[in-house]
Structure 1
Amino acid sequence: MGVLLILLSLIPAAACYLVFAWWLPSDSERYQDYRAAEPCSSRSMEQGQTDCLSTWLLTVEKTVNKTAGKSSSYEATLTGQDSWRGTVSFGDPGPLLERLDPGDQVTATAWRGDIVVLSKDGVRQNTSQAPRDELQMNAAIGLLAALVALQVFVFGAVRVVRPCDYEPFTWNPYGKRLLIIITTVCFGVGLPAVWIGIPWWTVPTVAIPVVCMMAGLIHHRLRRGAAGGV
C-alpha cells in the first residue's frame, strides 16, 4: 500500500508541474499579448493578421440569458455579412447581454480569431474568450495538486518506513481532514486574490504556511488523543 501511494502521488505532482510550467505561463503570456494588441490597420486586415484588434458590425439574432445554478447559460448568436453566423458566451448577463434584443446592431472586437468584446452605445462586455488576468486561480489549482501529491507521498512513505506503526497517517480521520483543509485554504486564498487583484505568487506564500500549521495542529491532537486512549 505504501509503494502504491507513492506511485499515486506522481499523478497530482505531474498536474502541478503542468500548471506552473505550462498553463500559468501560457495564460500570462496570452494576457500580456492581448493587452499589448493594437487596432488592425487596413494592411494587416488585408494580410489576414489576427494578433491585432479588428472590429465588426454584427446583428444580434437571439440571446440566451438563463440563470439556473450550474446550468446557467449566457450567450448571444450573431450574424454578419457573407452569411456569417456565430455564438459567443459570457460569464454573466451584465452589463450588455441583458440589454440586447434580436435585431440589435453591436460592435464585435476580435483577436486571434475569437470575439473578445461586444459593445453597443458605449456599453462593453467581455466574452468568455477574452484573456483575463486571473493567474491567482491557476496558482491555487497548481498548489492544490502539489499539496495533495505531498500528502499522498508522505502517507505512503510512512507506511513503507513503519509498516506496523503508521498511525495517524491514515485516510480517516487525518487524511480526510487534511484534504479538506488543503482544498479550503487553496481556494480560500485564491478566490480573494483574484477579487483583490494581488499577484499570483501570494497564493502559495500565504496558503503553504497555513496548511502546514493546520496539519501540525491536527497531527498533534491525534497523537495526544491516541496517547490518552492508551
Structure 2
Amino acid sequence: MKRTNSLFIHGFNNDKNGWEDLVSYWEPVKTLPKIMAEKRGEKVFYDTGAAFPTDVIDWESGSFDLSLSRLWSVYREKEKILEYFDIWDKANNDAADLGKGIAQHINKFYVSGEKIVLSAHSLGTVVALEAARNINTNINVYLFTLAGSAPAHDYNEILNKHENIKLATNIYSTEDFELKILCRKNDSLTPIGLTEISSGRGIATNFESNLLHSDYKKNPRIQSIFREFTYTVKNHS
C-alpha cells in the first residue's frame, strides 16, 4: 500500500508551539473529559477533520525579539535591522540544510508513487523548498505554505521544473509587516507570503488571508483550507 507522510515545518524564532491545533488529526471532538482537562491546565487538542495525521518538526530556527515595539525599531533603525538580518541569514542557511536533510531521509525510506506533504509557515517554507528540490522525482510532493519567507521566484521555478510536485497551495497576506521588513534586505525578492505563486502546469492555488504574520495558528478559515487540502491530496492520483 502506498503511504502518505505529512510534515509541518514551523518558522523563525523556534515557533513550534500551537501548530498542532492547525494540523491535528486523531483527537476526538470536544467532550466533558476534555473540558475538565482544560480546567486543570492540561494541553488539549481538537480534531480539525484532516484526512491524515501531520507531524510538526521541531528545529532550531533562530531567536530574535519580534514584539510589536521591537519590530517598529527594527524597521526604523539601521543597527537593529542589520542585527536582525545577521540572525535571519544564519537561520535561513540552517533552514536550507534541514530541507536537504529531510529530502535525504525521504529518498531513503520512501518509494515511487508515495506521497510527501510539506506544509510550512514563514521560514519553514525555505525548508520545504529545499526538500522539494531534492526529493527523488518518482516520489509525489504536495506543498502547503503560510506566510512564507521563501522567494516567490524560487517557488515558481520548482513548480514548473519538478513534475513530481503535484499540488501547491499558498496562503499570503499583503498585510504581513514582518515579511515587508525582509523586503528591505533585498527588494528584488518577493516572499511567497506577500504574493501569489504560479505554475504553467496549473498546480498552484492561492488564498489571500489579510492576516498578520503570526495569526495563522487558530484561524478557522486557515484550518478549513488545510482540511480541504488534505482531502484533495488523499484523493489525488
Query: What is the TM-score with the length of structure 2 in the denominator?
Result: 0.25
Relative to total residues, which structure has the larger helix share, 1 or 2? 1
Determine which structure has more spread, i.e. the larger CA radius of gyration. 1
Query: What is the TM-score with the length of structure 1 in the denominator?
Result: 0.25
